[in-house]
Amino acid sequence: MTFISDTYYMFLRWMKKLVRNPILLFFSLFQPIIFLLLFTQLFSSFGVLLGVNYTLFATAGIVLQNAFSSAFQSGTAIVDDIKSGFLAKILATPASRASILLGRLLSDAFRVFAQSLIILLLAYGLGVFPATGILGYILILVTVAFFGLAWSGISLALGLRTKSAETVFGIAGTLTFPLLFMSTALMKPQLMPTWMQNVSAYNPISFAVNAIRDLIMTGYVWNSFSQAYGVISLIAVLTLGATLYEFRKVVS
């Protein structure tokens, strides 16, 4: 079997496993949909302070929040494979070792892509349409999928390191909400406390959110776009490097 076909079958296996668990599929979408339908309505008066429609402003942050949360599910899945013995069985086959990880990561990126598309379609029903049109939708989905791919590396590395789903969930929860709320996802930095503005300026979520928000509200702002991809690429190198290191230890 070739590396490409190995990766394809690994990807297919993860997608089938996800589809066969509709409860997980539903609840992974439940939180961002609640954010989109209820949170934006509850805080719609913030639009007066921001000078824009709040749903239009917050959609970028909600899409990233979904990618951020979904990415952390990877670690628990790899822990299940280790404990069930499935990973050991795969390692006993001629399948490429790299394809095991790549198939998992590609399935994460695809899941984030599909979930983000659903959220954007719901947002469209609330009057949110990118200033950049259909091409803007494509760029948003690609950016979010790339972001999810990069952050999946953290979850996978933690799962491979700790072999504990509870630990992965605990660390994920500790990281997700502080990083989300100390970013430009749901609020302009000018309305934040000074110390939070300083954190937000270096928060990787802020870079990604700003690029997506520009595509929705402003147009093609290549400076924010290039900054976002630079930051996400750096995260990807670090997190996927850590994942590869931990995976080699498990394999050996």
In the chain, how many domains are there? Answer: 1
CA gap 164, 162 in Å, rounded: 5
CB atoms within 10 A of CB 202: 10
Q: What are the pLDDT digits (tens) for 54-88? A: 888 989 998 988 888 777 777 777 888 788 787 88
Tokens for 8? 């394809």
Q: What are the pLDDT digits (tens) for 152-188? A: 888 888 888 888 877 887 887 787 778 888 899 888 8
Structural domain boundaries, residue 82: 3-251
pTM over 0.85? The answer is yes
CA gap 3, 113 in Å, rounded: 23
The helix or strand, by DSSP H or E, that contains position 213, with its residue range, turns out to be helix 204-213
On the 0-12 / 13-18 / 19+ scale of CB atoms within 10 A, 56 is buried
